[in-house]
């Protein structure tokens, strides 16, 4: 029997009307940040917004997710590819990992090519910190195009 991992997803408030289609497709296909779970069964036990800058819901949502058995919280790829990307992302990750002892992964679905191209031109992700942030969702061009 495959190990089941319960995850939560937190999305940027800018995308609050997002139905999660790309995230759930990537989860089903084990693409992007979900490729790390190839041999594991996944169950989403929480899906919410950060509730706007500076992430008011970050203080409360992880506690509820933890009560539902969450082992990992993913910050949706929108927090990385938005214009501008979330400036609080490192702080949010560190806060959740320290306060709630829940692992945080930055990213869900692969970065769409249109965002990848624009952020390369803007030089958004040149720092070592941002290179680390985008690593789980930085796939090949064919996959990025499939998520445009």
H helices present in the chain, as ranges: 21-29, 61-67, 78-81, 89-100, 113-122, 128-134, 141-146
Q: Which structural domain, as residue segments, surrounds residue 51?
A: 3-146
For 69-93, the pLDDT digits (tens) are 999 999 999 999 999 999 999 999 9
- 1 pLDDT higher than 70: no
For 18-74, the pLDDT digits (tens) are 999 999 999 999 999 999 999 899 999 999 999 999 999 999 999 999 999 999 999
What span, in angstroms and rounded, lies between the C-alpha atoms of 27 and 34?
5
Q: What is the pTM assigned to this prediction?
A: 0.96
| Total structural domains within the chain | 1
What span, in angstroms and rounded, lies between the C-alpha atoms of 70 and 133?
21
| Contact between residue 32 and residue 139 where contact means Cβ atoms under 8 Å apart | yes
Q: Which residues contact 24 (CB under 8 A, 6 or more apart)?
A: 44
CATH code of the domain covering residue 79: 3.40.50
What is the predicted pLDDT for the residue at 3?
74
What is the Cα gyration radius of the chain?
A: 14
């Amino acid at each position: 029997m495959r190990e089941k991992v319960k995850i939560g997803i937190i999305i940027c408030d800018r995308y609050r009307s997002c139905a999660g289609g790309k995230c759930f497709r990537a989860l089903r296909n084990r693409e992007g940040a979900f490729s790390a779970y190839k041999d594991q069964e996944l169950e989403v036990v929480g899906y919410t917004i950060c509730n706007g800058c500076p992430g008011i819901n970050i203080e409360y949502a992880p506690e509820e997710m933890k009560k539902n058995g969450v082992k990992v919280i993913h910050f949706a790829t929108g927090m990385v590819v938005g214009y501008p990307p979330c400036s609080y992302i490192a702080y949010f990750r560190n806060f959740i990992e320290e306060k709630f002892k829940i692992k945080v992964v930055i990213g869900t679905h692969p970065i769409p090519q249109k965002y990848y191209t624009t952020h390369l031109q803007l030089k958004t992700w040149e720092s070592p910190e941002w290179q680390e942030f985008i690593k789980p969702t930085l796939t090949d061009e064919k996959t990025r195009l499939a998520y445009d």
